[in-house]
């Protein structure tokens, strides 16, 4: 099957691309070429902009189109109209915010959708200084914190969740397949980065060197999933600080061995499950951890709450 994915290199779009390729489909990506452009080197890529440049889509036919990145109605209408005669099926995937209520558990695709008061909205905050929560596409998010969130708050949120969890399952990607193993977190005072100790002559070293995108899963009173980028660090003082006597026997070496190396993981997104049926997401995590400025709800959507059974966009 020939599939056109609008987006396709991050979040849900990336997963869909990987799944489609794994199943043997012929995939074409349309995006701006700015997010993870190194991914999928053997896939046809069309460069454009949903905001105004769809010229790359004026030719070509596909069996199916999957749209995962339409943030205002206009861009979805324009791409759907352009592809209507040249695509067998068009699927638009939005977030749970499309439905008219989020408080009741168990809603599905048949549930009534919300109605926009401004069908031509171009921005989440256009028209009013303080629009109601359901006024604009993308802002139909009830049960959310509409306050400002700071760098320190983002760090403290994750720090509190993982402070008593010493071991994480680190997942790397090998030939397109995830591979996980337990790793002891070395940084007891989480300040935005996570640290681990390993050896250079291990599979995980080669895997991270080949693809630095990793995921860390913590399980305790909360379940925490942290996605980020790993890099190797040669810091003798930090190695000494993190070294545990048990490593002498487990790794059969000492902290000053040149084969010992530190892994620093810089988080980008953190998802966590607490008691109840709630999924909370910290988006643009790297921005929050590196910025001292406050970031409002539209910019970062820190501590968003969505239905656990619905995918978070």
Q: What is the pLDDT of residue 11?
A: 82
Segments in the chain below pLDDT 70: 95-99, 101-104, 115-154, 187-191, 274-313
| CA 71, 75, 81, 86 torsion-angle sign | negative
Q: What is the pLDDT of residue 109?
A: 75
Per the CB < 8 A criterion, the answer to whether 232 and 263 are in contact is: yes
Alpha helices in the chain (DSSP H): 11-22, 73-83, 151-162, 203-210, 236-242, 245-250, 285-290, 297-300
Tokens representing 258 are: 């040149």
Query: pLDDT by residue (tens digit) across 17-47?
Result: 999 999 999 999 999 998 888 999 999 999 9
Per the CB < 8 A criterion, the answer to whether 243 and 261 are in contact is: no
Q: What is the pLDDT of residue 115?
A: 66
Q: What is the pTM of this model?
A: 0.44
Q: What is the pLDDT of residue 166?
A: 85
Query: pLDDT by residue (tens digit) across 98-145?
Result: 667 666 677 777 888 776 655 555 554 433 334 444 333 333 333 333
In the chain the domains, ranked by start, together with CATH numbers, are 2-93 (3.40.50.720), 151-307 (2.30.110.10)
Q: What is the pLDDT of residue 284?
A: 44
Per the CB < 8 A criterion, the answer to whether 11 and 281 are in contact is: no
């Amino acid at each position: 099957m020939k599939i056109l994915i609008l987006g396709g290199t991050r979040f849900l779009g990336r997963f869909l691309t990987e799944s489609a390729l794994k199943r043997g489909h012929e995939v074409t990506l349309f995006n701006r070429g700015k997010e993870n452009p190194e991914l999928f080197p053997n896939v046809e890529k069309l460069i454009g902009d949903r905001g105004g440049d769809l010229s790359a889509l004026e030719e070509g036919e596909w069996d199916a189109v999957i749209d995962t990145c339409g943030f205002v109605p206009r861009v979805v209408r324009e791409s759907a109209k352009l592809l209507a005669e040249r695509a067998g099926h068009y699927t638009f995937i939005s977030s749970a915010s499309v439905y008219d209520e989020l408080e009741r558990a168990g809603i599905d695709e048949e549930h009534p959708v919300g109605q926009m008061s401004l069908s031509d909205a171009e921005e989440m905050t256009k028209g009013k200084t303080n629009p109601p929560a359901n006024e604009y596409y993308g802002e139909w998010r009830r049960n959310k914190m509409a306050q400002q969130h700071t760098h320190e708050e983002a760090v403290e949120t994750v720090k509190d969740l993982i402070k008593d969890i010493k071991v994480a399952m680190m997942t790397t990607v090998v030939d397109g397949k995830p591979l996980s193993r337990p790793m002891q977190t070395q940084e007891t005072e989480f300040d935005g980065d996570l640290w681990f100790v390993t050896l250079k002559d291990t599979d995980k070293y080669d895997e991270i060197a080949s693809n630095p995108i990793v995921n860390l899963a913590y399980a305790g009173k909360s379940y925490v999933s942290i996605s980020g980028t790993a890099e190797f660090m040669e810091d003798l003082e930090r190695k000494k600080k993190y070294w545990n006597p048990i490593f002498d026997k487990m790794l059969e070496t000492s902290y000053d061995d040149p084969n010992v190396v530190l892994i620093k993981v810089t988080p980008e997104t953190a998802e966590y499950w607490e008691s109840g049926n709630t999924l909370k997401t910290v988006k643009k995590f790297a921005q929050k951890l590196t910025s001292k400025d406050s970031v409002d709800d539209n910019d970062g959507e820190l501590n968003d709450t969505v239905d656990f059974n619905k995918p978070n966009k």
